[in-house]
């Protein structure tokens, strides 16, 4: 399970980037849409980051390319989660 602080940090970053949740949209679907990946990929990516893995390790866990993120979104998500839970692995 992903820390509540990480969930909040991800949501704040998505909103900051202009990605608002839709009415009645599940959080996992919202994040997947915001990261432009499937729900299972988003969950695996966020869980890996929450477990203090690097962006590259999280991408491997999710089965995605580190180049996939829009405008550094994947790295920004990693930083936000790291700050939220007090750790970040480069």
- Domain boundaries in the chain? 4-85
Quick: pLDDT tens for 10-43.
999 999 999 999 999 998 899 999 999 999 999 9
Q: Is 64 within 8 Å of 39 (Cβ atoms)? A: no
52 pLDDT band (50/70/90 cuts)?
Answer: confident
DSSP code of 69?
A: S
Q: Give the separation between CA 14 and CA 60, rounded to whole angstroms.
A: 22
70 pLDDT band (50/70/90 cuts)?
Answer: low
pLDDT of residue 7 exceeding 50: yes
pLDDT of residue 87 exceeding 70: no
**pTM tops 0.85, yes or no:** no
């Amino acid at each position: 399970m992903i820390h509540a602080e990480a969930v909040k940090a991800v949501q704040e970053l998505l909103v900051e980037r202009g990605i608002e949740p839709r009415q009645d949209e599940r959080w996992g679907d919202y994040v997947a849409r915001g990261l432009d990946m499937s729900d299972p990929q988003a969950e695996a990516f966020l869980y890996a980051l929450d477990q203090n893995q690097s962006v590259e390790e999280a991408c491997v866990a999710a089965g995605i390319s580190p180049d996939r993120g829009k405008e550094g979104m994947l790295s920004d998500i990693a930083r936000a989660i790291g700050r939220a839970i007090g750790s970040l692995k480069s």
